[in-house]
Amino acid sequence: MERRASHPSSPKWPGGDARRFIALELPSPLPPAYNPSFLDLALTEGSVKRIKAIYPGSFDPPTNGHLDLIERGSKIFDELVVAILRNPEKNPLFSVADRRKMLEAMTSGFDNVSVDTFDGLTVDYALRVEARAILRGIRAISDYEYELQMALMNRKLQPGLETVFMMPAEKYSYLSSRLVREVAQLGGSIECLVPDLVEQKLREKIDVAHKFANRQPSAGKSKLKKKKL
């Protein structure tokens, strides 16, 4: 008796015959995978966006708290501009030129940090330098209330500009330029509060002010004596 070649059993599909085979159409072989390099992506999808931020302030004088924020901000942003505000209404201890020199010396070790000066609205300056964010430090609740108002106003004036708040290191949470000036003027130690360069400049400035103040009474007395004669 002749035996027929057995065929593998076909699954029973609903409404179908167990002996019916289903022909599958396979797609053509896929081309080898291509992983474009970073340079190819940059050329095909446009230039890579870099995030530039400004860190505005008076910096009179620059402190270790400022330097702490600058160092940490340089790790977040591709480019950080320390922007010194020129405010004619204030009577600063250091001139804008002196503050710029001190900040440039303090930030010389950061490749992506630069120092600049500006006046007028912060948002206008940010647009001029093509910055996309404003870096601000917050030490306490009182700072937050003020900075929140400024951030909301800046967003109203320029919706595309973001404000990034950063907390200082714990050891600098109480530190401010005003406090440093007051302590130095009263003869207190400002060691570890400001960089060595700033401490030296601050002592020189205060010594000159004290000498000038001590000379004024004697000069006034001599004028009175001359008048009496």
| Residue 52 known to be catalytic | no
| Residue 12 known to be catalytic | no
Q: Which long-range contacts (CB under 8 A, 24 or more apart) does 192-199 make?
A: 192/64, 193/63, 193/64, 194/61, 194/62, 194/63, 194/64, 195/62, 195/64, 195/67, 195/102, 195/106, 197/102, 197/105, 197/106, 198/61, 198/62, 198/63, 198/102, 198/106
| Residue 177 known to be catalytic | yes
Q: Cα separation of 85 and 100, whole Å?
A: 11
Q: Single out the catalytic residue among 66, 100, 136, 181.
A: 66
Q: Single out the catalytic residue among 99, 177, 181, 201.
A: 177
Q: Single out the catalytic residue among 52, 101, 132, 139.
A: 139
For residue 51, the one-letter residue type is: I
Q: Single out the catalytic residue among 12, 90, 171, 210.
A: 90
| Residue 90 known to be catalytic | yes
Residue 144 belongs to what H/E stretch? helix 141-157
Q: Judge whether 134 and 162 are in contact, CB under 8 Å.
A: yes
The catalytic site residues sit at 66, 90, 139, 177
